[in-house]
Amino acid sequence: MKHRNLLMIPGPVEVDPEVLAALGMPPVSHVGADFIEVFGSALEQLRQVFLSTDGQPFILAGSGTLAMDSAAANLIQPGDAALVVNTGYFSDRFAAILQRYGAQVTQVGAPPGDRPSLEQVEAALQGAAFKCMTVTQVDTSTGVLADVQGLAGLARRYDVLLIVDGVCSVGGEALNMSEWGVDVALTASQKAIGCPPGLALLVASPRAVAAFRARQLPVQSYYADWNNWLPIMQSYEARKPAYFATPAVNLVAALNVSLKQILQEGMAARVARHAALSRACKAGIAALGLKQLPASSEIAAHTMTAPFYPAGVSGAEFLAQAAQAGVLLAGGLHPALRTQYFRIGHIGAVTRADILATLAAVESALAAGGYPFDPGVSLSAAQRVGRGQ
């Protein structure tokens, strides 16, 4: 009998049993032949998941914020100009990280739920000589999807390094590093990669590595310094032992299994599956008469949905009622709107059945809050979308 709720937040996510089995294996030596093969395989597969033909992958013990910190620490020197394309809470965080390493930060933003246009970004690029530009592909606080491909084109035109925070996107949204010209893309293990939390994952293009090697000052973070990690990653991929800091051996083993599953599904098919699940979830929410935070469907993420609470429904009570109905949902995160909306994650190993169970829990919570609707209307809408009607 199942004794836990379905986890439908934008990370951590539900994890496949094979991945959990790898996580539960007895720990092994981080310089043993078996683990070297696992780590090397994970690095090679990471490059394939990011669709990078020649990038340098990094697997570090830490969170997605460490991945952001690592990109900034290694590419920014004091006084460098950085442009942040701001779509929410995690764009704010990237700006703060860049400033910590001495960057002069300019931000191009939009109201919560919207994104700046390419024209606005280009106007900013024309105003200064920037070292790098950062963008959050899916800001988990708003559910807004950035136009990474369009921004990559601008970055190339103005000779700016493009860093993509893909924590809530890589493995669920379209991202083609090599074809688009992305310089650094990063994520964390607990989202669309489909593992428990604990790994920071990055891929750096040859252009980004060259920019790192050309820096004049030491990297200001000891742990995140690519001078320490590059030899380790290169050694493991060459199937040779190396040591700087002990890797999270069980998490890397789980990651290796999850990456194999992702590549077996195929990147195009995986992106299409996330898009289909997103359409079904959003159709169900719309059928209930709930508005959503993204300003339009065209800029709404496929890995999550961010509906507003209806008038008269208490957010705290709604989330508690949904949990009683068997589904864990997330409250709002953007500081300006925190109490006005909730978030549904449909990312990683999520199925159509999970979407229907989630919508049923949403209906149960709305009913408990006194919100009037036709019972089953969200499930019917989601099923119609699933059948292509």
| CATH code of 28's domain | 3.40.640.10
- 373 and 240 in a single domain? The answer is no
Residue 159 lies in a domain: yes
Model pLDDT for residues 190-202, shown as the tens digit of each residue:
999 999 999 999 9
What pTM was estimated for this model as a whole? 0.96
The DSSP code for 151 is H
Model pLDDT for residues 204-258, shown as the tens digit of each residue:
999 999 999 999 999 999 999 999 999 999 999 999 999 999 999 999 999 999 9
Q: Please tell me the predicted confidence (pLDDT) of residue 1.
A: 37
- 87 and 224 in a single domain? The answer is yes
Q: Give how many domains the chain has, as a whole number.
A: 2
**145 by DSSP, 3-state: which?**
strand
Identify the segments of the chain with pLDDT beneath 50.
Answer: 1, 389
- 174 and 319 in a single domain? The answer is no
Q: Please tell me the predicted confidence (pLDDT) of residue 386.
A: 65
Residue 1 lies in a domain: no
Residue 229 lies in a domain: yes
- Cα(272)–Cα(314) distance, integer angstroms: 34
- 214 and 291 in a single domain? The answer is no
Q: How many CB atoms lie within 10 A of CB 258?
A: 28
Q: Please tell me the predicted confidence (pLDDT) of residue 370.
A: 96
Residue 125 lies in a domain: yes
Q: Please tell me the predicted confidence (pLDDT) of residue 385.
A: 86
- 247 and 228 in a single domain? The answer is yes
- 246 and 346 in a single domain? The answer is no
Length of the chain (residues):
389
Q: Please tell me the predicted confidence (pLDDT) of residue 4.
A: 81
Q: How many CB atoms lie within 10 A of CB 212?
A: 21
Q: Please tell me the predicted confidence (pLDDT) of residue 193.
A: 98
- Cα(287)–Cα(239) distance, integer angstroms: 53
- Whichever domain contains 284, its CATH number is 3.90.1150.10
- Cα(160)–Cα(152) distance, integer angstroms: 9
Q: What angle do CA 310, 314, 320 make, to 5 degrees?
A: 115
Q: How many CB atoms lie within 10 A of CB 12?
A: 18
Q: 229, 246, 265 — which closes off a domain?
A: 265
For residue 21, give both structure tokens. Answer: 């089995």
- 255 and 275 in a single domain? The answer is no
- 110 and 239 in a single domain? The answer is yes
Residue 211 lies in a domain: yes
Q: 248, 265, 282 — which closes off a domain?
A: 265
Domain residue limits at 371: 6-10+267-386
Q: 209, 244, 265 — which closes off a domain?
A: 265
